[in-house]
Amino acid sequence: MKILKKLRENIFLAIVVFIYVVLLIVRPEMGIASIKSSGYYIKEMLMIMPVIFILTALLDLWIPKEKIMQFLGEDSGIKGIVLSFVLGSISAGPVYAAFPMCIMLKKKGASIRNVVIILSSWAVIKIPMLINEAKFLGPRFMAVRWVLSVIAIIIFSWIANKIVRDEDLPKEEIVEKGLYVNSDACMGCSQCVKCYPELFELKNKKAVGKSHQNPDMRKLRNAIEACPVKAISYKE
Amino acid sequence: MDIFTLAIWVGTLIFLVVSFAKDKGKTKKALKMALGMGKGMVVSILSIIFAIGLILTILPPMEIANFVSKQNVVLATVVAALFGTITLVPAFIAFPLVGTLVGAGVGIVPAVSFLTTLTMVGVVTIPLEKKTFGTKFTVVRNGLSFIFAIVIALVMGVLI
């Protein structure tokens, strides 16, 4: 059963491994060529990935997100746009990790325009990535693409704001009492476990809350604030 | 190691030293967070890399370039953008991959539209986005991203 569960969780990896095994039996020379060309990307990844993760974690640590969040409302104007770009381009994690944080911002009054800017810049204009792009595609390519992407995002976030109304977004869900960890958003960074090991644990690389009685609110608040994707909520 | 990678390593290490001098506890936390994020993503990244290796053997970049160059530019750009929407690929794999394609002779315009939708639009993550933001928001955001990916690509073709 356990093996079956692991297989389902890593279904994509399982399929890729399966194709490799078949290929190595049927056409060994093609299988070896595939492994060789994968090797190139693995080498590139190992050179850049550790430093990207460290840099994003450091940016996440030193830029006060909570302060930025106050300036993203309907009337925030240019300041709101600039701050949304900053927030999106320094944040850690893949774009789907941004969804819960953005819906939280929306509830706190951020405009749809600024939410679209955060999501888009989160995807395409990560600051630690710019150097990486310059390396593979040239500094000129990087600079032109960066400027064009910023212009495009400014234009289409304005259009999105015209089309989508606040009523189109899902109504506030009734959150159950107690502790809730959004597992779709959790990246398994284990910050919450470090803050409050009695209450949080990692299961299958995702944080879950253990059963508890009267949690220590100070430690819990620390954990909620430490979460880089704001996936933890608590309702008394 | 080339100059770009070296620069980002040196910059980050300086940042790390300054951060450590200012707040030891917080910096340690950040390092652990980086490690946790890496561990959480490494399996899916490796699967994507091995899948790319497989695809590039079956469809060598030269042949892709050869095929693309025979097509109408606008059509090639739209199709490239469509391929990019299938899944979200982390940027540090997307760049070397697009670098390989451009190096083999694929035109800048289709390459850019592929790169933009590769990181911005993901069919795989649409259900999650729908659950969070509702259908209308999701359709509008992904639709506009797709259209502008093509616009960015075409303008880049004129500028570069």
- Mean pLDDT over A42-51 rounds to 83
What count of CB pairs under 8 Å joins A to B?
A: 244
User: What integer best gives the mean pLDDT of chain B?
Assistant: 86
Evaluate whether residue A109 is within a structural domain. Answer: yes
Q: What pLDDT, on the 0 to 100 scale, is given for residue A176?
A: 60
CB contact under 8 A, A23 and B1: no
Evaluate whether residue A24 is within a structural domain. Answer: no
Range of the domain at A208: 173-234
- Mean pLDDT over A41-45 rounds to 84
Question: Does residue A172 have a pLDDT over 70?
Answer: no
CB contact under 8 A, B91 and A37: no
* Distance, C-alpha A16 to centroid of its chain: 25
Q: Which of A117, A144, A168 is the last residue of a domain?
A: A168
Evaluate whether residue A164 is within a structural domain. Answer: yes
Which of A36, A137, A188 is nearest residue B39 as measured by Cβ atoms?
A188
> Which tens digits make up the pLDDT trace of B78-128?
999 998 888 777 777 888 889 899 999 999 999 999 998 988 887 877 877
Which of A19, A20, A53 is nearest residue B34 as measured by Cβ atoms?
A53
The residue among A30, A189, A200 with the most chain B CBs within 10 A of its CB, best to mutate, is A189
Shortest alpha-carbon distance between residue B98 and chain A (Å): 8
CB contact under 8 A, B137 and A112: yes
Instruction: State ipTM.
Output: 0.79
Evaluate whether residue A25 is within a structural domain. Answer: no
Say yes or no: A126 and A199 in one domain. no
CB contact under 8 A, B91 and A129: yes
Q: What are the residues whose beta carbons fall under 8 Å from the beta carbon of A75, sequence distance 6 or more?
A: none
Evaluate whether residue A158 is within a structural domain. Answer: yes
* pLDDT band, residue B154 (cuts 50/70/90): very high
Say yes or no: A109 and A123 in one domain. yes
Q: What are the residues whose beta carbons fall under 8 Å from the beta carbon of A208, sequence distance 6 or more?
A: A181, A183, A200, A201, A202
**Angle CA(A58)–CA(B121)–CA(A158) in degrees, nearest 5?**
85
Question: Does residue A92 have a pLDDT over 80?
Answer: no
Q: Which of A168, A185, A201 is the last residue of a domain?
A: A168
Say yes or no: A201 and A214 in one domain. yes
In B65-84, the residues whose Cβ lies within 8 Å of chain A are none
Residues of chain A positioned with their CB less than 8 A from the CB of B118: none
CB–CB of B115/B84 below 8 Å? yes
Count of domains observed in chain A: 2
Q: Note whether B7 contacts A: Cβ–Cβ < 8 A.
A: yes
CB–CB of B64/B110 below 8 Å? no
CB contact under 8 A, A155 and B56: no
Residue in chain B closest to A206 (alpha carbons) equals: B40
Name the strand (E) or helix (H) holding B110.
Answer: helix B108-120
* Full-model pTM: 0.76
Evaluate whether residue A224 is within a structural domain. Answer: yes
Give the whole-angstrom CA distance, residue A134 versus residue A5.
Answer: 41
The DSSP-derived string for chain A is -HHHHHHHHTHHHHHHHHHHHHHHHH-HHHHHHHHHHHHHHHHHHHHHHHHHHHHHHHHHHHS-HHHHHTT-STT-HHHHHHHHHHHHHH--S-GGGHHHHHHHHHHTT--HHHHHHHHHHHHH--HHHHHHHHHHH-HHHHHHHHHHHHHHHHHHHHHHHHH--GGGSPPPP-PPSEEEE-TTT-----HHHHH-TTTEEEETTEEEEPP-SS--HHHHHHHHHH-TT--EEEE-
Evaluate whether residue A122 is within a structural domain. Answer: yes
Give the whole-angstrom CA distance, residue B125 versus residue A98.
Answer: 12
> Which tens digits make up the pLDDT trace of B16-28?
999 999 999 889 8
Say yes or no: A154 and A67 in one domain. yes
Evaluate whether residue A34 is within a structural domain. Answer: no
Say yes or no: A114 and A96 in one domain. yes
Q: Which of A168, A193, A216 is the last residue of a domain?
A: A168
CB contact under 8 A, A187 and B41: yes
Shortest alpha-carbon distance between residue A39 and chain B (Å): 8
